[in-house]
Amino acid sequence: MTRRRTTPWPLILLSPGVGLLVLFVLLPILLTAWISLHTWSMYTPLSQMDYVGLANYRGLLNDRTFIRGLWNTLAYSGLSITLILPLAFFVGQLLYRGLIRGKSTLRAVVFLPYMIPTIAVAIIWGYLYAPLYGPLNQVLGWFGIAPRAWLGSVDQAMISLVIFNVWQTLGYYTVLMVAGLTQIPAVYFEAAVIDGANGWQQTWRITLPLLRRTLLFVVVIAMINSVQVFDPVYVLTQGGPASATTVLSYQVYKNAFEFGLAGKASSMAFVLFLVLVVAVAAVMRLLRDPTGES
Amino acid sequence: MQRRLLMAVQYLVYALIVVLMLFPLFWMVASSFKTPQELQALPPVWLPSSIDFSAYARAFSTVPFARSFLNSFVIAGGSTLGILITSIMAGYVFAKLHFRGRNQLFALVLSTMFLPPIVMLVPLYKIVQSLGLVDTLAGVMLPNIANAFGIFLMRQFIAGIPDELLESARLDGASEWTNLWRIVFPLLGPAIAALVVFAFTFHWNSFLWPLTVLQSPDQQTVVLALNRLVSYTSAIKFQNVVMAGAVISVLPNVLLFVFLQRYFIAGIAHTGSKG
């Protein structure tokens, strides 16, 4: 490809896709940053914003609900990733190297919940968790475990949301893991077997180091997905009980569309964005290949 | 001997995973057929005594599910079609055409893939409002039409098509437009299938953006209708109605998955290995 005529084709073919991305993604995110420096009621035109500098952000520092929401968002994401990463690796290994038959059925079954609207998942689990009429406490009772309040308890509500997030998304991350596993050349394992390495050693010395890029990708995607959790909080807990499950995205929505506080909501949204950028950058640094290859 | 033991353990784990993954779905379907008495029985009854569809009728009469099905099909279908067109065109440019700043522009496009919609929600709503599209299906669809993931997927796939194919057509005087639709497009089958199932289920399932834009009852999507159903009838004796609604909302995606599963898996594997 040495011909470098200037043709109009790149411009023509790119403008619908890139133009819409600029209009509906890049412009809005700049607007969010701009609006966050103002007080503005959602119900008035954009021209009636009052510039207040960083006052919204200073307000957030003293806003206990917001601090709680920030903490809850981080807890939800952290817990989700902590559970998803080993489980997806484990199921991925079972699917890729397991001795069993019927692997494609297993893969389909694990993946199935990912297809379902999160609202439906939340509703189903809401009934599973029902303290009296739900099956979960009943099953625990068979093993002599006392019933729990699940979503109704300040201590258990958050982990209850995390559990069904893991249930819903595990299949997606498992497929990513399998895709990564298939890229590890089989000769490494063959050589390891000849050298007398057992399964455990193979996993720690070969699989995990060579899976670094996939693990990094899974963590980043899981972070992006869980940091914006909204649907289950909206439909099941409304942030309760006693702000135990209030999360940033829920507060953004509530402040903007229920209280009309667009400036405050935008400052929260921008904090969410910054948290995500910092977290992704930190993970990239932490899990980066020490040899410098991407 | 050790191998046999290992295999037995693996089958046990297999069974455990299947039970854990399917039990919530079983509970959804079983509950949708239970009578109010069975729903309020203690200890909980696991299987309904008869297959009774009255909860489904009740769900359809409580919220306009039929209408919302149509709305969801328009939104998910329209968004998907838009994404296909913009992604194929942009993906072709990023894969096969050369111009100054191409890689920087592609990086910019990719960076939008990971921005949570909640961060843009307020300005996005204002933009759609200023276009007069609040409470319309078009208002929901419009920001969906360009999608960085779609562009990325198409670019990856088109990059694998040999340049020689395009070069010979160019020598014959074919324009890039002809090249794209006559030569590249017919080769995109698997990529299109993957993008269709992804985009369709994603927009069928989405909640926050339709919730923000749509207000009147006859503009609701299936997922919004389900949300309404819960807020009307959350008492335990109406669990059958809510679960019937959940079954209804889940059905199109499950069918899509059963028939097009391999395209999903291929699509995800593609992003994972090259991402």
Domains and CATH numbers, chain B: 6-274 (1.10.3720.10)
Q: What is the mean pLDDT of residues B201-212?
A: 95
Which backbone phi and psi does A39 adopt, to 5 degrees?
Answer: -100, 135
Indicate whether A139 belongs to any domain: yes
| C-beta neighbour count of B172 within 10 angstroms | 8
- Nearest 10 degrees: CA dihedral of B136, B139, B141, B147? -170
Residues of A in Cβ contact (< 8 Å) with B119: 29, 32, 269-270, 272-273
Contact between chains at B24 and A124 (C-beta distance less than 8 A): yes
Tens of pLDDT, residues A30-40: 999 999 999 99
Indicate whether A265 belongs to any domain: yes
Indicate whether A38 belongs to any domain: no
Query: Does this model's pTM top 0.95?
Result: no
Residue A127: which of B31, B176, B226 has the nearest Cβ?
A: B31
Q: What is the CATH number of the domain that holds A206?
A: 1.10.3720.10
**What's the confidence (pLDDT) of residue B171?**
87
Tens of pLDDT, residues B5-25: 989 999 999 999 999 999 999
Q: Mutual orientation of helices A118-128 and B2-32 as an angle, nearest 10°? A: 90
Indicate whether A29 belongs to any domain: no
Q: Taking every pair of C-alpha atoms in chain B, what is the biggest distance, in angstroms?
A: 78
Residues of A in Cβ contact (< 8 Å) with B242: 123, 127
| Buried/exposed code over B107-126 (b: 16+ C-beta within 10 A; e: otherwise) | eebbebbbbbbbbbbbbbbb
Indicate whether A202 belongs to any domain: yes
Indicate whether A40 belongs to any domain: no
Given a contact cutoff of 8 angstroms between Cβ atoms, the answer to whether A245 and A237 are in contact is yes
Indicate whether A264 belongs to any domain: yes
Strand partners, A39: A50
Residue A157 has pLDDT above 80, yes or no: yes
In the structure, what pLDDT confidence band is assigned to residue A2 with cuts at 50, 70 and 90?
A: very low
User: Which residue of B118, B124, B131 is the best one to mutate when testing the A interface, meaning the one whose CB has the most A CBs within 10 A?
Assistant: B118
Q: Number of folded domains in chain A? A: 1
Instruction: Identify the closest residue of chain A to B21 by CA–CA distance.
Output: A110
Q: Domain range holding A198?
A: 58-287
Tens of pLDDT, residues A224-247: 999 999 999 999 999 989 999 999
> Among A245, A104, A92, which Cα is nearest to A165's?
A245
Q: How far is B245 from chain A (nearest CA, A)?
A: 9
What is the Cα–Cα distance from B217 to A224, expressed in whole angstroms?
32
In terms of phi and psi (left: phi > 0; alpha: psi -120 to 50; beta: otherwise), the region of A197 is beta
Indicate whether A164 belongs to any domain: yes
User: Which residue of B120, B133, B212, B226 is the best one to mutate when testing the A interface, meaning the one whose CB has the most A CBs within 10 A?
Assistant: B120
Residue A24: which of B118, B143, B275 has the nearest Cβ?
A: B143
